[in-house]
Amino acid sequence: MIERQDILSMEYLKKTEFTGSHQGMRYRLEGVSSEDGKKLRVTVWPEPFNFFTTPAEEKESAEFSFDEDGVQDAVAWMNDRLFEDKDRWENAGSRWNSYQ
């Protein structure tokens, strides 16, 4: 389970993106501009590849408010993805030859 303490501070997120992984699921949090102001975009995808190498169709994203509540909502969303797609993440390590 991903915990809030696994994600760096809001001050860090204001400056750059944050990436991590947990049990076969990789994730990235970044600030993005939207019509409603700045948002926190969270993207998850299966291991073993990084954000830029993984095809778009393998990624899933959601946006949250760019504040502490948004980070907590993002962590909850990532944990939902982790448990709802458990087989996807558990088998992610076997995909080394799947992308060209």
pLDDT > 70: what percent of the chain? 94
Write down the pTM of the prediction: 0.89
| pLDDT for residue 34 | 85
Confidence of residue 97 (pLDDT cuts 50, 70, 90): low
Q: Are 100 and 53 in contact (CB under 8 A)?
A: no
Query: Terminal CA-to-CA distance of the chain, rounded, Å?
Result: 31
pLDDT at res. 92 = 80
**Where do we find the tokens 């760019």?**
66
- pLDDT reading at 99 higher than 60: no
Token pair, residue 64, equals 């949250």
pLDDT value at residue 93: 72
* Distance from C-alpha of 97 to C-alpha of 81, rounded to nearest angstrom: 24
